[in-house]
C-alpha cells in the first residue's frame, strides 16, 4: 500500500465567497462546502468537484490548468494564489476563498482582469514604438543574450492579477500602474527595437502612478506565481528615471 493510500484522508471544509452582482436579489455572503481530500488535489480540482457534485452555480475561472493562462487567481486564506498551482495538502482543513480585490467582480470567485490589463497597456503604451514603417523583408539584428534573457523574464508574466491583488498601493489607488504594469513598461524600455527616448519613459513612470508610487512592501515579488524578478524590475526603472532626470538637468544647465 502506498503512503498516499495509507494516510488518513482529510475532510476539507471550504468557506467560499458568493455574490452575483447581476442579480438584484443576491447579497454577498460566505457559503460552506465539505469534500474529501484526494491525493495531489489542487484547488482547481476541489472547486470542480464542488461545482459538479454540490452547486453548479459556483463561479470561478479556469482554462489551461497549467499556470499559463492566469485565469484561476483567487484569495486563498487571505493570500493571492493560482487555484491550479495550489495543493490542498499545503493548506489547513479550513480553506477560505475570496475573489481577487482591485478587479471588477463578475461573480463569486470570478473577476474581470482583462479590462484592467487592457487599460494598463493603453496607459503605459506597452508596445514597441518604432519611427520607421515596418519592413517585412528587413533582417532583424541579433540581440545580446543577456538582454534577451531579461526581456524574456519580463515576458513570462501571465497577467493573473495576483501581484495587483497583493499590492497595497493598487488596492487604494486605481490609477497606479501596479507591479504587472511596471513590469510591462520595463520589458519595452529594455527592448532595443523601441525607439522611445529616456525622456519619453520619464513621462510614463516617474510619477505617483508609476515606479515612484511603489512604497516598497514587495508583496508582489513574494506572491508572483511565475517568480518574476520584480525587485530588479523596480530598481531598473528607478535608475532609468533618475538618469533621465539628471541628463535633462545637465542639458538645461548647458543651455543656460
DSSP code of residue 238: H
Helix (H) or strand (E) holding 35: strand 29-36
Which domains, ranges and CATH numbers included, belong to the chain? 10-98 (3.10.20.30), 113-131+143-249 (1.10.1060.10)
pLDDT band (50, 70, 90) for residue 247: low
The CB-side HSE value for 47 (13 A sphere, CA atoms) comes to 29
Percent of the chain with pLDDT over 70: 92
pLDDT of the residue at 252: 47
- Give yes or no for a contact between 55 and 49, defined as CB atoms under 8 angstroms apart: no
Residue 254 has pLDDT above 50, yes or no: no
For residue 38, is pLDDT > 50? yes
pLDDT at position 1: 41
Read off the pLDDT band of 5 (50, 70, 90): low
Q: What is the mean pLDDT of the chain?
A: 89
Task: Express each pLDDT in 153-203 by its tens digit.
Answer: 999 999 999 999 999 999 999 999 999 999 999 999 999 989 888 778 777
Amino acid at each position: 500500500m502506498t503512503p498516499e493510500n495509507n494516510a488518513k484522508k482529510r475532510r476539507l471544509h471550504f468557506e467560499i465567497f458568493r455574490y452575483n452582482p447581476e442579480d438584484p436579489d443576491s447579497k454577498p455572503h460566505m457559503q460552506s462546502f465539505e469534500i474529501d481530500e484526494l491525493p495531489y488535489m489542487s484547488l482547481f480540482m476541489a472547486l470542480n468537484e464542488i461545482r459538479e457534485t454540490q452547486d453548479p452555480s459556483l463561479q470561478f475561472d479556469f482554462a489551461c490548468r497549467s499556470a499559463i493562462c492566469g485565469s484561476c487567481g483567487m484569495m486563498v486564506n487571505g493570500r493571492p494564489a493560482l487555484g491550479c498551482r495550489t495543493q490542498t495538502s499545503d493548506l489547513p482543513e479550513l480553506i477560505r476563498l475570496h475573489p481577487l480585490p482591485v478587479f471588477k467582480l463578475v461573480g463569486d470567485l470570478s473577476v474581470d482582469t482583462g479590462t484592467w490589463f487592457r487599460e494598463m497597456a493603453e496607459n503605459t503604451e506597452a508596445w514597441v514604438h518604432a519611427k520607421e514603417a515596418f519592413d517585412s523583408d528587413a533582417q532583424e539584428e541579433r540581440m545580446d543574450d543577456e538582454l534577451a534573457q531579461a526581456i524574456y523574464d519580463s515576458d513570462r508574466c501571465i497577467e493573473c492579477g495576483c501581484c495587483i491583488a497583493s499590492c497595497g498601493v493598487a488596492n487604494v489607488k486605481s490609477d497606479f500602474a501596479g507591479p504587472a504594469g511596471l513590469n510591462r513598461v520595463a520589458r519595452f524600455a529594455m527592448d532595443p527595437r523601441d525607439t522611445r527616448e529616456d525622456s519619453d519613459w520619464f513621462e510614463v513612470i516617474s510619477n505617483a502612478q508609476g515606479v515612484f508610487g511603489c512604497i516598497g512592501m514587495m508583496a508582489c515579488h513574494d506572491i508572483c506565481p511565475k517568480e518574476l524578478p520584480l525587485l530588479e524590475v523596480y530598481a531598473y526603472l528607478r535608475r532609468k528615471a533618475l538618469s533621465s532626470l539628471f541628463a535633462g538637468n545637465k542639458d538645461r544647465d548647458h543651455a543656460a
